[in-house]
Amino acid sequence: MMHLTAGSANELFSATCRTVMEEGRSVKPRGMATTEVIGAHLTLTEPRRRLVSLPPVRVVNAAFAAAEAVWILSGSDEPWIYTYNQRMAQYADAGTLRGAYGPRMRAWRPGHDQLDHVRRTLLADPNSRRAVIQLYDPDRDIPHHSDVPCTLGYRFYLREGRLEMHTTMRSQDLWLGFCYDLFTATILHELMAHWIGAAVGEYHHHVDSLHLYKDNEAAALALPDCPAASRAMDPLVVPWEDFDALLAEITSGQMPGGPWGEFGRVMRSYRIWKGGERGDARRIAELGDGVLAQGLTTWYAKLSGRVA
């Protein structure tokens, strides 16, 4: 069992890559070579330090990180997400990702919003052990389709005024998937803490098969041993009653006020970048100085071959 703790995403990611390379074993599921650790418990003590940014070795597309978080938290499985990551489309069936987390979290059954259920559960009983969001569904996932959730579910525990969150995954691609999963999960963690009036406690990420694909191993070995800590994002607060309207506003292309405006800004910038207006895209990203704006500027530099 591997157990690592760090204060920020940069530090946790770098230490995890190094440990997987040192302690992992070679396995080839579906014929694809990986280095794998069975049983990993990763703890992030400051969940608002959630964005991995370790140029030039590992640079995250901050626009996709923002878009995926909005897509999942709004309960969507709409194909607009492919604008930010076209690779996702290869796992779709008839254009739809059957394993999309959002509909399972926000509408498991008609009228059954698991996000609201957790919020109400913890408000009614702060000591509850039933604040659970389930994502894996045998009825949906045993029949064959291309996209089966890697995340099994989320659990929340309010103790001594601090909300802890635990995520359990059957499988995790450390290089490509972890950075984005950590980003979205810790936003969910922070929001839930706000909705129930608690402080944000530790975030716990449990993975059964944590692995690096062979193609990413050289880059993983090039990560710094002692990276600079990720910057903390501004607090993401929004009343529960306004949450869905806020996400709809961002999805429609608007840029609301406050820290959520940065989500709309980087998403708009990337859409413009994809349309070929690279200078305009950069200028929009550079209007902000937040974590996402800085991250997207670094991503553009990587795409242009300018990351040092």
Confidence (pLDDT) at 146: 84
CA distance 49 to 265: 20
- Give the chain's residues under pLDDT 50: none
Single out the catalytic residue among 17, 150, 179, 226: 150
CATH class of this structure's domain 2-47+58-303: alpha beta
Measured in whole angstroms, the distance separating CA 287 from the mean position of its chain's CA atoms is: 24
Confidence (pLDDT) at 110: 85
CB count, 10 Å around CB of 92?
18
Strand ranges (DSSP E) for 28-159?
34-44, 53-54, 58-59, 132-134, 151-159
Roughly what angle, to the nearest 10 degrees, separates helices 261-274 and 62-73? 120
Question: If residue 208 lies in a helix (H) or strand (E), which one and from where to where?
Answer: strand 199-213
Question: Within 13 A of 223's CA, how many CA atoms are on the CB side?
Answer: 27
Confidence (pLDDT) at 142: 86
Confidence (pLDDT) at 144: 76
pTM surpassing 0.85?
yes
CA distance 70 to 78: 12
Confidence (pLDDT) at 138: 92
Mark whether 17 is an active-site residue: no
Confidence (pLDDT) at 7: 98
